[in-house]
């Protein structure tokens, strides 16, 4: 019997809608739409469906995670932006989920200001990719799609 197509959600937090304009020397020149369009192409041969969500509002992201919990999504890729370093609410919401979660950062947060060195999510996610710019999203998709297709 053919397996159901797996669904992965890509969540982006505050200020990531400004990629391309925002500190390009740190975050690169590509817009979020360009990065997500590349992921959509990459997902086709991997046989996974992608859903996308970006918000500048912590509560809206928590609400989205609750929706994902009800929908039985197979995997999450999340760049929580600054919420990485501050949001117990996002951490608690992600703890609802049992699917693999990849935490992504365009920049290497450990090479930056000390307040960025602490991720409140790092110890509850499957893994973290940081410092590879937009390639980090592609790396995360390869890893999570293969992981869930094999499971």
Q: Which stretch binds ligand DQA (CB under 6 A): 37-45, 56-64, 101-109, 139-147?
A: 101-109
Question: Is residue 91 close enough to count as binding ligand DQA by CB under 6 A?
Answer: no
Question: Is residue 119 close enough to count as binding ligand DQA by CB under 6 A?
Answer: no
List the catalytic residues: 27, 105
Question: Is residue 109 close enough to count as binding ligand DQA by CB under 6 A?
Answer: yes
Where is 149: in which H helix or E strand? helix 135-150
What distances in angstroms separate CA 57 from CA 12, 63, 104, one per listed residue?
Answer: 11, 10, 18
Which of 6, 91, 105, 134 lies at the binding interface for ligand DQA (CB under 6 A)?
105
**Where does this chain bind ligand DQA (CB under 6 A)?**
15, 79, 81-82, 84, 105-107, 109, 116
């Amino acid at each position: 019997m053919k397996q159901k197509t797996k669904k992965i959600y890509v969540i982006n937090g505050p200020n990531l809608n400004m990629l391309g304009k925002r500190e390009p020397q740190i975050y690169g020149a590509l817009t979020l739409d360009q990065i997500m369009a590349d992921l959509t192409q990459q997902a086709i041969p991997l046989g996974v469906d992608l859903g996308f969500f970006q918000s500048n509002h912590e509560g809206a992201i928590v609400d989205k995670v609750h929706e994902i919990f009800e929908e039985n999504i197979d995997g999450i890729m999340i760049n929580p932006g600054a919420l990485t370093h501050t949001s117990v609410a996002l951490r608690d919401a992600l703890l609802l989920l049992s699917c693999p979660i990849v935490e992504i950062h365009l920049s290497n947060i450990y090479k930056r200001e000390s307040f960025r060195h602490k991720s409140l999510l790092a110890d509850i996610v499957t893994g973290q990719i940081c410092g590879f710019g937009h390639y980090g999203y592609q790396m995360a998709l390869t890893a999570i799609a293969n992981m869930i297709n094999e499971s």
